[in-house]
Structure 1
């Protein structure tokens, strides 16, 4: 029997989720939004839609009658309302939020529920945590876990060396909120835009710095089991200094709406992007100090006959893979579901998870013995 899915939010990522799920024939997908233009685009491609004010919790709850699951592709600040509506309507819940506060609230909503609530199902948080946890489990004793992800323009031209490839609200939020980390075995909060480091991959120079939300629930899962755990966003060199100037010196962190307007006016979007994933896990195995490395470099390409940017492919592909694994019974069927509960092999073997592979992907998984 097909799973009936309510897709809440028909923006850039929502459109991609709709196409991927609709293409399989195993999901009855209906897209909800209040933007008539976004819905019209899906209607023209044969995907059913329904106009709903998604900020109106009672209206959303009523619209959810008869559905099996809800996929939330809205901005992070609506996640709690949408999760509450899902619980009230008796449907399973999946989202893409990177917001720590929203995730904690959704966990409380999921407590003792017969429904499954699975937030953070995107790239980071999401896939990056699945990889890090899988690598950590291969070690007898884990010393250090480093998680690095970048959604970057393939051809940077402006001073920021950046283009808008995903949610501006999410981008600003991760640049402004405190970041979880484990240092010297203790969980602590670190400041966003700090902890700058530089590295090169495939001959290209990058910088990385603290941003919020990318660890998901890994700090709790690996508490007492790892000395160092952190997540950093990857950008081209120079980006962090300019953002720190905007957010700190010009105090735009206190005027997020103004910053959003500025970025939308001045920084173009692009579909010619690249997603960089870089995870290293160091520790002991069979008495030897080793390091496992997992990398992916994913470019924009066609998926299901539709051109998609790299961030669309990785974000929509991840949540679709996890929904598909849930449908197949691979994941827990009730309560709060963490990303770490997703088996990496099952994810990569899934029809949607395979979007992380292919001819346009440079993929390596290497193990080094350290002297």
Structure 2
């Protein structure tokens, strides 16, 4: 059994621990600074829990000693501390962050490292990057790559048409920070919450708008190779207008703690959610301009007798698949590893990656 540490015992971290433990191939140490979070976690012989101050480098160093890898499911602002400790311990590092600055730091740590550093292993960035790269490879020349992802309640019942399904800190961060994109072939930054559009899928209308971090390293990889590359978050219509009023008119973009408190005390958590993945790539094949689209909906489900939300399943399955591929030698064992280096067919064939193929999906050329 390979010993791994999962940092953060929230909805996603606890799901990662449970998925890995069920295989019998991983001994999981699940740690958090808040001991009360362990009360919600079912007991498993392959999971041990530890209360650790994540800001304490020495404590993390002791925890990481002798481990194969650490998987960070902690808030984005703690990512770099965990990565630093992993580098000092010489172990593999994986995370879920959408934060661009944190990923740059991880990339610097990976330079010359003897272990692998693989950030952005969740849904978006993560799965969406692997999928988009696979579609893009089918073209002789690329024109546009458009990525759209959303984690939505199946039954919206408030003015925001939204329930908390993921990290509140993460949602706020991606609604505020600048977004990377490729415009007319050049890597640039565009403002979050802008360039709103509407589209229909299965008879339902959605809106999508710029959010930060969803592209991972795709912009660096495809700058100069594609005319347009962008990422937008999917929501039900009306969400963007209200959020922009909160962020801009009430200036809550500069009072993140207050905004977090409002959202967490006003919007209930739900496990009845749906993850929507919508990727469209256009370009030339044999001299003809063609388009390929991958549209997919993934719902909550029962794994090992426990009900997990769609965002828990997709995010946890993403990082577990990459860890599994790393452990089996299917990914580079050292340095910085981009999501687009992961083979999409091998990802889907993995025991964790198969969760992405178990819900409704449709592809059209």
8 Å CA contact retained: 2:98, 2:214 = yes
Mean Cα deviation higher: 289-298 or 204-213 = 289-298
Measured against aligned partners, the alpha-carbon deviations of 1:217-251 in whole angstroms (never above 9, x if no partner) come to 00000011000000000000000000000001111
Residue 7 of structure 1 corresponds to which residue in structure 2? 6
Measured against aligned partners, the alpha-carbon deviations of 1:238-268 in whole angstroms (never above 9, x if no partner) come to 0000000000111100000000001111111
- The runs of 5 or more residues in structure 1 that have no matched partner are none
Counterparts of 2:135 and 2:332 in 1: how far apart (Å)?
21
Counterparts of 1:182 and 1:303 in 2: how far apart (Å)?
38
Structure 1 segment 324-363 matched on structure 2, within 5 A? 324-358=324-358, 361-363=359-361
Counterparts in 2 of 1:9 and 1:233: CA distance versus 1, 3 Å: same
CA drift of 1:40 comes to 4.0
Residue 55 of structure 1 corresponds to which residue in structure 2? 55
Residue 201 of structure 1 corresponds to which residue in structure 2? 201
TM-score normalised to structure 2 length: 0.98
Mean Cα deviation higher: 252-261 or 27-36 = 27-36
- Secondary structure of the equivalent of 2:41? helix
Structure 1 segment 300-339 matched on structure 2, within 5 A? 300-339=300-339
- Secondary structure of the equivalent of 2:148? strand
Mean Cα deviation higher: 36-45 or 47-56 = 36-45
- The runs of 5 or more residues in structure 2 that have no matched partner are none
Residue 111 of structure 1 corresponds to which residue in structure 2? 111
Residue 366 of structure 1 corresponds to which residue in structure 2? 364
RMSD of aligned Cα (Å):
0.9
CA drift of 1:73 comes to 0.5
- Secondary structure of the equivalent of 1:80? helix
8 Å CA contact retained: 1:146, 1:230 = yes
Residue 192 of structure 1 corresponds to which residue in structure 2? 192
CA drift of 1:297 comes to 0.1
CA drift of 1:41 comes to 3.9
8 Å CA contact retained: 1:114, 1:335 = yes
8 Å CA contact retained: 2:112, 2:335 = yes
Counterparts of 1:52 and 1:304 in 2: how far apart (Å)?
28
8 Å CA contact retained: 1:39, 1:51 = no
Measured against aligned partners, the alpha-carbon deviations of 1:295-321 in whole angstroms (never above 9, x if no partner) come to 210011112322100000000010001
8 Å CA contact retained: 2:21, 2:44 = no
Measured against aligned partners, the alpha-carbon deviations of 1:122-162 in whole angstroms (never above 9, x if no partner) come to 00000001111111111000000000000000000100000
TM-score normalised to structure 1 length: 0.97
CA drift of 1:60 comes to 0.7
8 Å CA contact retained: 1:210, 1:233 = yes
8 Å CA contact retained: 1:42, 1:49 = no
8 Å CA contact retained: 1:42, 1:48 = no
Counterparts of 1:85 and 1:163 in 2: how far apart (Å)?
34
